[in-house]
């Protein structure tokens, strides 16, 4: 009787041991699959600022003279691309209307003192828009100063929203700083990437980080920037 009981106990222990091993493997496999899924997938990020919903807007981009001297087309490029992105009628939240980028750029060219005006007045002169997205680029470079042999792009700006229909139309209703870099790794030089390629990616990343604040969008679980 005792021998029979001992055999049953040993068999039961063996089954438990066998059952536990696959269980542990399943947890590891599931965890690995989830991690692999995240590495190759995206998830939704909600808008940080939702005030463009059913409102008209204009995008105004500014940069200091040093940045504009080195990158003369930067302000124009950012203004056009950011306006296009935020004007997309598939966005959530979705704006009701916008001032075309070319009209904003023409106004800025014809009124070089625009930056000294109150924001509410600027909004009126841009057609009476309800929101002004003001982006002040405080950094934009493709290399570390003094290093001509390696790309080390960095860009940053202050993003501010003016709500002209608020009790304080000249104050910022929303403000945030964004920064991006490219390339993601050190050691790349002109032999590896052209100046045009580095400039294109860096500007695109800055445009993403600014405009993504305003509408729901997809981002990688582990973003590059």
Residue extents of the structural domains in the chain: 2-40, 44-220
CATH number, domain 44-220? 3.40.50.10610
User: What is the C-alpha to C-alpha distance for residues 53 and 214, in angstroms, rounded to an integer?
Assistant: 9
Supply φ then ψ for residue 54, to 5 degrees: 60, 25
- Between the alpha carbon of residue 2 and those of residues 11, 34, 215, the distances in Å are 14, 48, 73
Residue-level pLDDT at 4: 46
Give the integer Cα–Cα distance in Å for 142 and 124.
36
Residues of the chain with pLDDT under 70: 1-31, 33-34, 37
Contact assessment for residue 159 and residue 135, using Cβ atoms and an 8 Å cutoff:
yes
User: Which pTM does this prediction carry?
Assistant: 0.84
Rounded to an integer, what distance in angstroms lies between the CA atom of residue 132 and that of residue 60? Answer: 7
pLDDT at 38: 77
Note the pLDDT of residue 36.
72
User: Which tokens sit at 82?
Assistant: 């950011």
In this structure, what token pair is assigned to residue 77?
């490029």
pLDDT of residue 29: 65
pLDDT at 13: 45
Phi, psi for 78 (deg, rounded to 5): -65, -40
Q: What is the pLDDT of residue 22?
A: 55
């Amino acid at each position: 009787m005792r021998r029979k009981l001992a055999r049953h106990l040993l068999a039961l222990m063996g089954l438990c041991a066998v059952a536990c091993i696959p269980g542990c493997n399943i947890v590891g496999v599931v965890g690995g699959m989830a991690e692999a899924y995240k590495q190759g997938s995206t998830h939704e990020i909600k808008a940080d600022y939702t005030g463009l919903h059913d409102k008209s807007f204009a995008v105004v981009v500014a940069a200091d003279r040093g940045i504009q001297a080195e990158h003369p087309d930067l302000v124009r490029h950012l203004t056009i691309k950011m306006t296009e992105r935020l004007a997309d009628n598939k966005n959530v939240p979705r704006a009701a209307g916008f001032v075309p980028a070319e009209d904003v750029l023409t106004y800025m060219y014809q009124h070089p003192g625009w930056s000294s005006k109150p924001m509410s007045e600027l909004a009126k002169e841009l057609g009476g828009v309800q929101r002004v997205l003001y982006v002040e680029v405080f950094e934009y470079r493709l290399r570390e100063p003094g290093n001509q042999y390696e790309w080390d792009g960095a860009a940053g700006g202050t993003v501010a929203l003016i709500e002209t229909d608020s009790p304080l139309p000249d104050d910022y209703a929303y403000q945030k700083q964004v920064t991006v870099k490219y390339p993601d790794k050190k050691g790349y030089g002109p032999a590896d990437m052209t100046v045009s390629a580095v400039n294109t990616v860096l500007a695109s990343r800055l445009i993403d980080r600014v405009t993504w604040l305003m509408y729901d969008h997809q981002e990688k679980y582990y973003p590059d920037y």
